[in-house]
């Protein structure tokens, strides 16, 4: 059975305005193919039956069957007895991560905006393993986390101007686990939820899966002629008029725009949330990856209304600073909410692995030095990418960012999905702009990470240049997928 069943109605919503002046079956196949490559239709998803989708879209069953056949011939669908048509990514050169038989280079995946593992991680793992015997007398199950790690995390907040006790900390299996758990506990079906747009895709997926009605507020990258940052008027209006139960923000080096919310604006937003009783989640997983920012990082919750500290919730992790494979994150919240989260968590998992927590206890002592080394890598990567884009794509608008790991580049025309598809043919995986929007949009934008080293970036720029050239010479059918929104 499929791990994800798409109804005709849900697929229609994803398709947007897909029709062109060409053959309907080809236009439909092109749009579904882009959605698969972009990750908006996950792999191993079951597409709706041809008859159901045809009825929903006002097409004949024959047209939908022809579109599915074209996708199947290209390797994007496969048939499973009793399960219908299932999506997949076709095999290609380097798809397994290494060279193909002809020696082609491996596929370069820039969809993963992550730094390489910190070089000292293996040594820390060995030292943590030596600490493990003292923890083997218990069950190993703990929804809250090791007391010594909770204390260490609380102390880091305190050192940054946000007094915190261990009772305000829960250790999670990474930041994504923390966001999903908060969504399950705080959101009931139909509740309004404030969210930035563009934003981190897995966050809005978790909030939507919990039943939230998403209320998007725009964030603009620092591009020529643009008012960079959050649309504060819309943000405050959404809080005051829509009365959302929850809001999800990335106030420092927002993903994907790279913007940071000024302190005065944070205070106004938190005050408005306090008046409405809205819980604001601050995702600070990349907040300390600054490059040019003046002054020390201060947690978002430090600006919270002293009368309502329970409404400011923080999510953090070591996934972006140390290594993505070290699945340890945390939630800082009011002790009452922490207790609710712990009770709800037991229905799905029994706690964070002990050995990884022991590693993070040691890593927190090393974190100032780790962050210094990361800033050096990120500064070089940002400057390298900005120079490369300016040289090869002078018509693109490249934003100024002073931290984080990504650039939100304006392509000047609504072809992001088409460019992502063309780039894959050159061995480069990049998510298209609509991956970061709510129900589409952002076809003029492309998120490009600059956390990769000097070996990968020239390859990526070469592949991107070839893809752009091929797109200009042989453009794919214009899908018009909400292209006029931005």
CATH of the domain at 82: 1.10.10.10
Over 90: is that where the pLDDT of 484 sits?
Answer: no
Give the pLDDT of residue 486. 25
Over 60: is that where the pLDDT of 10 sits?
Answer: yes
pLDDT tens for 280-307 read 999 999 999 999 987 778 999 999 988 8
pLDDT band at 27 (very low <50, low <70, confident <90, very high): confident
pLDDT tens for 141-171 read 999 999 999 999 999 999 999 999 999 999 9
CA atoms within 13 A on the CB side of 265: 15
Which residue is associated with the tokens 């999510």? 315
Residues 374 and 362 in one domain: no
- H/E stretch holding 389 reads helix 354-392
387, two tokens: 């120079």
- How far apart, in whole angstroms, are the C-alpha atoms of residue 234 and residue 253? 20
Residue 18 sits in which domain range?
A: 4-87
Among residues 347, 367, 387, the one where a domain terminates is: 367
Over 70: is that where the pLDDT of 21 sits?
Answer: no
pLDDT band at 440 (very low <50, low <70, confident <90, very high): low
pLDDT tens for 64-74 read 999 999 999 98
CATH of the domain at 390: 3.90.1150.10
Tell me which residue of 467, 371, 453 sits closest to 420, measured CA to CA. Answer: 467
- How far apart, in whole angstroms, are the C-alpha atoms of residue 447 and residue 486? 15
Give the pLDDT of residue 101. 34
pLDDT band at 225 (very low <50, low <70, confident <90, very high): confident
Among residues 304, 337, 367, the one where a domain terminates is: 367
CB 178 within 8 A of CB 315: yes
Tell me which residue of 361, 357, 329 sits closest to 345, measured CA to CA. Answer: 329
- 413-430 b/e with 16+ CB inside 10 Å = b? bbbbbbbbbbbbebbbbb
Residues 78 and 153 in one domain: no
Give the pLDDT of residue 2. 41
Considering only 36-50, 97-111, 322-336, which range has the smallest mean pLDDT?
A: 97-111
- Is 195 part of any domain? yes
Average pLDDT over residues 207-220: 95
Residues 223 and 317 in one domain: yes
Residues 205 and 346 in one domain: yes
Residues 165 and 74 in one domain: no
Positive or negative: CA dihedral 196, 202, 206, 208: positive
- Is 79 part of any domain? yes
Residues 326 and 390 in one domain: no
Residues 58 and 198 in one domain: no
Q: In percent, how much of the chain has pLDDT > 70? A: 92
Give the pLDDT of residue 31. 84
Give the pLDDT of residue 480. 40
Structural domain tally of the chain? 3
pLDDT tens for 421-434 read 889 889 999 989 98
- Is 102 part of any domain? no
Average pLDDT over residues 233-261: 96
Give the pLDDT of residue 337. 97
> Among the ranges 10-14, 308-312, 413-417, which has the highest mean pLDDT value?
308-312
Average pLDDT over residues 270-284: 97
Give the pLDDT of residue 293. 82
Residues 277 and 400 in one domain: no
In this predicted model, which residue has the larger pLDDT, 314 or 485?
Answer: 314
- Give the pTM: 0.83
pLDDT band at 91 (very low <50, low <70, confident <90, very high): low
pLDDT band at 457 (very low <50, low <70, confident <90, very high): very high
- Is 176 part of any domain? yes
- Is 98 part of any domain? no
CATH of the domain at 193: 3.40.640.10
């Amino acid at each position: 059975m499929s791990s994800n069943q798409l109804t005709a109605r849900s697929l229609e919503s994803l398709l947007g305005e897909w029709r062109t002046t060409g053959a309907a079956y080809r236009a439909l196949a092109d749009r579904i193919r882009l959605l698969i490559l972009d990750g908006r239709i996950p792999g191993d998803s079951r597409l709706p039956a041809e008859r159901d989708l045809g009825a929903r879209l006002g097409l004949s069953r024959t047209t939908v069957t022809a579109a599915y056949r074209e996708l199947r011939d290209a390797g994007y669908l496969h048939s499973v007895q009793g399960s219908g048509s299932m999506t997949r990514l076709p095999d290609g050169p380097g798809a397994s991560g290494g060279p193909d038989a002809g020696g082609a280079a491996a596929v370069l995946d820039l969809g993963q905006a992550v730094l390489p593992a910190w070089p000292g991680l293996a040594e820390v793992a060995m030292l943590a393993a030596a600490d493990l015997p003292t923890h083997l007398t218990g069950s190993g199950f703990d929804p809250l986390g090791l007391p010594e790690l909770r204390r260490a995390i609380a102390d880091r907040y305190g050192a940054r101007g946000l007094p915190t006790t261990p009772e305000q900390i829960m250790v999670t299996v990474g930041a994504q686990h923390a966001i999903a758990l908060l969504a399950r506990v705080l959101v009931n079906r139909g509740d309004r939820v404030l969210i930035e747009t563009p934003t981190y895709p897995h966050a809005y997926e978790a909030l939507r899966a919990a039943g939230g009605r998403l209320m998007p507020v725009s964030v603009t990258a620092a591009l020529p002629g643009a008012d960079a940052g959050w649309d504060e008027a819309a943000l405050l209006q959404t809080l005051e008029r829509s009365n959302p139960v929850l809001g999800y923000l990335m106030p420092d080096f927002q993903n994907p725009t790279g913007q940071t919310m000024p302190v005065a604006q944070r205070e106004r937003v938190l005050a408005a949330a306090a008046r409405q009783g809205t819980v604001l989640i601050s995702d600070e997983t990349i907040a300390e990856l600054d490059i040019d920012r003046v002054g020390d990082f201060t947690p978002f919750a430090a600006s919270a209304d002293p009368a309502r500290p329970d409404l400011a919730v923080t999510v953090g992790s070591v996934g972006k600073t140390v290594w993505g494979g070290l699945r340890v994150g945390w939630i800082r919240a009011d002790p009452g909410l922490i207790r609710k989260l712990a009770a709800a968590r037991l229905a799905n998992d029994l706690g964070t692995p002990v050995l990884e927590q022991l590693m993070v206890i040691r890593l927190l002592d090393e974190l100032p030095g780790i962050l210094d080394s990361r800033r050096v890598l990120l500064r070089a990567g940002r400057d390298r990418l900005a120079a490369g884009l300016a040289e090869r794509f002078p018509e693109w608008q490249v934003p100024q960012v002073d931290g984080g790991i990504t650039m939100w580049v304006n392509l000047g025309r609504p072809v992001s999905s088409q460019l992502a598809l063309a780039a894959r043919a050159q061995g480069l995986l990049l998510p298209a702009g609509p991956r970061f929007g709510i129900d589409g949009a952002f076809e003029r934008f492309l998120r490009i990470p600059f956390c990769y080293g000097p070996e990968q970036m020239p390859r990526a720029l070469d592949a991107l240049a070839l893809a752009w050239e091929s797109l200009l010479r042989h453009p794919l059918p214009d899908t018009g997928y909400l292209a006029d929104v931005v």
